Amino acid sequence: MANKLTDLTPKSMWRYFAEICEVPRPSKKEEQIANYLLDFASHHNLEAILDETGNVLIRKPAYPGFEGRKTVILQSHMDMVGEKNAGKIHDFEKDPIQPRIDGDWVKATGTTLGADCGIGIAATLAILESDEIPHPPLEALFTMDEETGLTGAFGLKPDLLQGRILINLDSEDEGQLFIGCAGGKDTIATFLTETETLPARQMAYDVSITCLVGGHSGDDINKGRGNAVKIMDRFLWNAAQQFDARIASLDAGNLRNALAREGFARVVIPAGSAEVFESYAHNFHEELVGELHVTEPELKFISSPTELPSSVLTTGLQERLLNALYACPHGAIAMSREIENFVETSTNLASVKIKEDQIIVTTSQRSSVESSKKDVGDMVASLFHLAGAHVKQTGGYPGWKPNPDSEILRLTVASYKKLFNQEPEVLAIHAGLECGLIGAIYPGMDMVSFGPTIKGAHSPDERLDIPTTIKFWDLLLDVLKNTPKK
């Protein structure tokens, strides 16, 4: 096996992926990757546009003899999710990703890899660079801020794109072709922070839950993985009942579209309860291991004495917060009645963070049924209204309605069968794709989404399967070679 990315084939695609790993590109901070793409276009004498939202569009004329084919849009997003392990020193706005090869996988070192959607960008650049790959007229659309708000797709103007066939390169299971996706929205609850001085004769503990698998809040929501927010709240809720535990700090979960992997809290208990509290913490850890040993084999739950804080939450606020988090739903809410093993509706309890003046609880809802998306969002909102929080909901983004009669789908299925001698799966995905928004802005856009196998997306366990990446490349080239005539 090769020991560096540039030893892998096809060399051009892997070379570009290695370069992309060098360019910091967390969501909402895409200036460096946008400039990289514009410099690429200038170097290769290709037309390029930076729109007012921050999206980049690069156009390339057809390969000789393919001028009469329909224009195809290759679409991927510029940003990546920035997640790192506790203790890992990494600034996603400044530091490069450190990829490494481990068997058949490309992984990062202690952080997300950014194969979502960096490998789509890399494949596109390798095609745009080549003078030997047959293709129709191409438009390469690189959108900004897909991961945290679909900002780039929301900001597209109806006159930017000329093509009406789009291949989205943001899927993560080779052998599966996606023709539909869920829509989503966020529900955010805010409590005003209220604190008071410590009672007499207290001692403090730092409590942490770490090393959960985490993952994508769409793709992985029904896989039974632990949620650091729910686990930490369960511990604190029971500690408050049994030992009159008081919360000084709480920080669990991170990104709205990721499963909460880590949680940290500082709690204060009466000094005379130390021995039974430590026994409770030990038993709680054993319970977690028993419940989650299949899906969370590496979980760590640690409680250790620490210095006393200056204040704790008031009892009234603590009770409202812990009750609301305990009652807040998390996971798959409904399965599709039409597509086997397909999550129709879900909600993700993404994070809770106590700040100096407010406590912010972030949740996100997804559904392929618009009315169900609204319903589950309102259910979560009503819960936090009852707890006395201020609740805000985003406008959300639409789903992508499947079109089984799609021309680009038929072509892609035929290419897959010819190349690999097997039928691909044709599916909808519970994750959000930009195709829903693009289809709303460009009615009649014919779309399909496919990609290589990426596991652990949105977590430091993210890894890209090398053999399926080669298949992804071969499929993309064959589809472009066989695109229909105008």
138/126 Cα distance (integer angstroms): 13
Task: Specify the DSSP element, H or E, that contains 228.
Answer: helix 228-243
Measured between its terminal Cα atoms, the distance across the chain in Å is 43
Q: Is 79 a catalytic residue?
A: yes
Nearest to 351, CA basis, from 252, 226, 215, 248: 252
Which class for 485: exposed (0-12), middle (13-18), buried (19 or more C-beta within 10 A)? exposed
The H-or-E segment that residue 56 falls in is: strand 56-60
Q: Which of 79, 172, 186, 462 is catalytic?
A: 79
DSSP-derived letter for residue 71 is P
Euclidean distance between CA atoms 482 and 177, whole angstroms:
17
Task: Measure the CA–CA gap between 248 and 380, rounded to whole angstroms.
Answer: 25
Q: Judge whether 446 counts as a catalytic residue.
A: no
Helices marked H in 267-346: 274-292, 315-327
Catalytic residue among 19, 129, 145, 146: 146
d(CA 173, CA 404): 19
* Cis peptide preceding 484, ω within 30 of 0: no
Q: Distance between CA 137 and CA 147 in Å, rounded? A: 28
Q: What one-letter code names the amino acid at 257?
A: N
What's the Cα-to-Cα distance from 247 to each of 13, 95, 209, 252, 356, rounded to whole Å? 50, 35, 16, 13, 13
- Can the peptide bond before residue 117 be classed as cis, meaning omega within 30 degrees of 0? yes
Distance in angstroms (rounded) separating the CA atoms of residues 99 and 463 = 10
Q: Where do the H-state alpha helices sit in 96-157?
A: 115-129, 146-149, 151-154
SS3 346: strand
Residues with a catalytic annotation lie at 79, 146
